[in-house]
């Protein structure tokens, strides 16, 4: 028997409201969806902010539109859940009201706070070895970037003391929306783990790390499982959303966790390549591991028996969107752009693109790095530039996968999802760059929301275990690599990998003061 649920995919530029049928016998079936957009405020000091009330407004507007357009009665919805951007900092008062705009996962302004703590004493890879060891023993990973949440929290403490003084809790994005819906402030384990303050061995916030960073533990919310019901829909919240009062609200998880779940990558060795605004290579593993040299670590996911080994790139599909926007100015839509570049050979006639349009995290962390077109000549065509952007994103994913395989064995077939995966041409380029079979699922753009919906099947007792989700996620298409093209990309890869090292000082000169 199928039931209807609504899940919310809270992204960096918009919120998707998705309606699903879920059943243990058949599948997770996407029925309808609405997308509402909101502003991303990029500041000159490296700050990247969003208004939390914009998330709630988008959630309310999208839900009402979805119910009306799909002809679904509010009483039919048996629960809601969330897939969300994480490592976001929302400072709220005791009533759950935001005290300032949320600091996005892309926010890099807390470089001073990061270096004041982590660049002291004897160093390894530029980080204080004693503190690195404390992190690793407690979390299995290290807070190795100024973009990590604790440093943003400390930035507020140092630069906005009047805001800090009023703070009751520090929440992440979906936790804020859950608070708005239920009045409860609870964080899923995977979101808690993303702060790098969570003791993965004791399953609680780490007093030792909080003391080391001078984090007030009273500001940290209660931790729960991603499958937990965290409350019932409050009357005023239900009225704003157009849902029934008392509708169960489930915790859900981070986009990293739930995109893997929604792609069916729930068994050890499964690999998901995700390309949305940002992107990552996520491998399901059975132990904690940290590759400090490549800044890849294993994080707690929604399944308590496995971990997500995550290698991240800041801008992935955003690079492709950037190219599409330039084509729009030439009167070309997305399909026409693909048609325009389809005959461009692998390697884009020698043009190489670096997809670090807003800095990068893995396998190097450099907020100053940027995108570039390398190796242009007088014969270079617009189609070469356009295709090289797609190839650059795919080559960076290959680089991340190669770094992953230094530590873990991976399954030979890779799942590909996110907005980029709706284009068969891009999927084929991904297969050619990797030299591996690439699978896509039904509705790849909704993969995170699908993961949240699949998780509710466990929450509602329709499935016994999270690993059972694999049998209800359906593969749509398999792309086989063109091995001749793979050889071209193999030749380019060493050049691609050297672009950052060879230009790091130039990036710092041009962008270090921003």
> Domain with 505 in it: what CATH number?
3.30.420.40
Q: What are phi and psi of 9, to 5 degrees?
A: -100, 105
- Does the residue 514 lie in any domain? no
* Cα diameter, the chain: 65
Regarding whether 140 and 77 lie in a shared domain, the answer is: yes
- 356 and 422 in a single domain? The answer is yes
Q: Do 197 and 296 sit in the same domain of this protein?
A: no
H helical segments located in 85-127 = 111-118
In angstroms, what is the C-alpha Rg of the chain?
Answer: 22
Q: Which domain holds residue 328?
A: 264-509
Specify if 257 maps to a domain: no
Beta bridge pairs of residue 103: 49, 89
Domain boundary among 210, 227, 251: 251
For residues 357 and 503, membership in a common domain is answered with: yes
- Taking the C-alpha atoms of residue 89 and residue 107, their distance in angstroms, rounded to an integer, is 10
HSE-up of residue 391 (Cα within 13 Å, Cβ side): 31
Same domain, 24 and 121: yes
Q: Rounded to whole angstroms, how far apart are CA atoms 263 and 418?
A: 10
Residue 129 lies in a domain: yes
Task: Tell whether 49 and 104 lie within a shared domain.
Answer: yes
Tokens standing for residue 506: 């130039």
Same domain, 364 and 311: yes
Tell me the C-alpha distance between 29 and 378, whole Å. 50
Closest CA to 312 of 333, 291, 331: 291
Beta-bridge partner residues of 41:
49
Whether residue 376 is found in the same domain as residue 498: yes
Whether 156 and 15 share a structural domain: yes
SS3 449: helix
Q: Which of 251, 274, 305 is the last residue of a domain?
A: 251
- Pick the closest to residue 394 from 361, 346, 332 (CA basis): 346
Give yes or no for a contact between 31 and 70, defined as CB atoms under 8 angstroms apart.
Answer: yes
Report yes or no on 483 lying in a domain: yes
Q: Give me the sign of the Cα torsion angle 97, 101, 103, 105.
A: positive
Q: What pLDDT shows up at residue 80? A: 98
217 within a domain of the structure (yes/no):
yes
Half-sphere exposure of 141 (CA within 13 A, CB side): 26
Instruction: Report the C-alpha gap between 457 and 454 in whole angstroms.
Output: 5
Final residue belonging to a domain, choices 221, 251, 281:
251
* Helix residue ranges per DSSP H, 40-128: 52-70, 111-118
Residue 304 lies in a domain: yes
Number of domains in the chain: 2
Token digits of residue 271: 């690999």
**Residue 391 forms part of a structural domain:** yes
Please give the structure tokens belonging to residue 457.
């099947």
Pair (268, 247) in one structural domain:
no
For each successive 10 residues of the chain (514 residues), what is the average pLDDT?
93 93 83 96 94 98 98 97 96 98 94 94 86 92 90 98 98 98 97 95 96 97 97 98 98 94 96 91 93 88 93 87 70 79 96 94 91 96 93 97 97 95 95 98 92 95 92 94 98 97 95 76
> How far apart, in Å, are the Cα atoms of 177 and each of 219, 233, 266?
17, 11, 26
| Tokens, residue 10 | 């809270």
Same domain as 291, residue 202: no
User: In sequence order, what DSSP letters do the residues of 131-171 get, joined into one string?
Assistant: HHHHHHHHHSS---STTSHHHHHHHHHHH-HHHHHH--EEE
Reading the block at residue 484, the tokens are: 């001749």
Tell me, yes or no, whether 59 and 85 share the same domain: yes
What is the structure's pLDDT at 137? 92
The answer as to whether 256 is a domain residue is no
């Amino acid at each position: 028997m199928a039931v209807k649920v609504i899940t919310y995919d809270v992204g960096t530029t918009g919120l998707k409201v998705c309606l699903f049928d879920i059943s243990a016998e058949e599948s997770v079936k996407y029925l309808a969806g609405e997308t509402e957009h909101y502003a991303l405020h990029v500041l000159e000091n490296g700050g990247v902010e969003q208004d939390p009330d914009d998330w709630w407004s988008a959630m309310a507007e999208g839900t009402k539109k979805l119910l009306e357009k799909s002809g679904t009665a509010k009483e039919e919805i048996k629960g809601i859940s969330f897939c969300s951007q994480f490592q976001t900092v929302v400072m709220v008062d005791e009533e759950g009201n935001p005290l300032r705009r949320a600091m996005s996962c892309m926010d890099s302004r807390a470089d001073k706070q990061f270096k004041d703590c982590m660049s002291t004493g004897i160093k390894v890879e530029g980080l204080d070895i004693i503190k690195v060891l404390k992190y690793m023993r407690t979390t299995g990973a290290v807070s190795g970037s100024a973009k990590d949440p604790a440093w943003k929290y400390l930035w507020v403490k140092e630069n906005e003391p009047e805001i800090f003084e009023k703070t009751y809790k520090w929440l992440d994005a979906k936790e804020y929306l859950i608070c708005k819906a239920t009045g409860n402030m609870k964080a899923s384990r995977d979101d808690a783990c993303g702060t790098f303050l969570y003791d993965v061995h004791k399953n609680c916030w780490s007093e030792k790390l909080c003391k080391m960073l001078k984090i007030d533990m009273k500001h940290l919310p209660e931790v729960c499982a991603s499958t937990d019901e965290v409350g019932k829909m409050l009357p005023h919240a239900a009225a704003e959303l157009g849902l029934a009062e008392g509708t169960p609200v489930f915790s859900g998880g981070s986009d990293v966790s739930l995109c893997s779940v929604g792609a069916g990558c729930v068994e050890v060795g499964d690999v998901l390549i995700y390309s949305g605004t940002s992107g990552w290579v996520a491998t399901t593993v059975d132990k904690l591991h940290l590759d400090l040299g490549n800044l890849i670590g294993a994080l707690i996911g929604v399944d308590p028996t496995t971990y997500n080994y995550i290698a991240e790139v800041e801008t992935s599909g955003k690079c492709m969107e950037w190219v599409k926007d330039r084509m729009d100015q030439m009167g070309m839509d997305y399909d026409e752009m693909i048609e325009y570049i389809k005959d461009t050979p692998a390697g884009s006639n020698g043009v190489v693109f670096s997809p670090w349009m807003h800095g990068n995290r893995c396998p190097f962390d450099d907020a100053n790095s940027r995108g570039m077109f390398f190796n242009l000549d007088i014969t270079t065509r617009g189609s070469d530039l356009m295709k090289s952007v797609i190839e650059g994103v795919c080559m960076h994913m290959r680089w991340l996968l190669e770094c992953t395989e230094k530590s873990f064995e991976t399954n030979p077939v890779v799942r590909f999802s996110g907005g980029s995966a709706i284009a068969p041409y891009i999927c084929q380029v991904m297969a050619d760059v990797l030299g591996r079979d690439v699978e896509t699922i039904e509705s790849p753009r909704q993969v995170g929301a699908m993961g949240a919906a699949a998780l509710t099947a466990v929450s509602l007792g329709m499935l016994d275990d999270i690993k059972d989700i694999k049998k209800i996620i359906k593969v749509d298409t398999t792309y086989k690599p063109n091995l001749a093209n793979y050889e071209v990309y193999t030749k380019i890869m060493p050049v691609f990998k050297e672009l950052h090292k060879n230009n790091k000082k130039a990036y710092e000169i041009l962008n270090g003061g921003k």
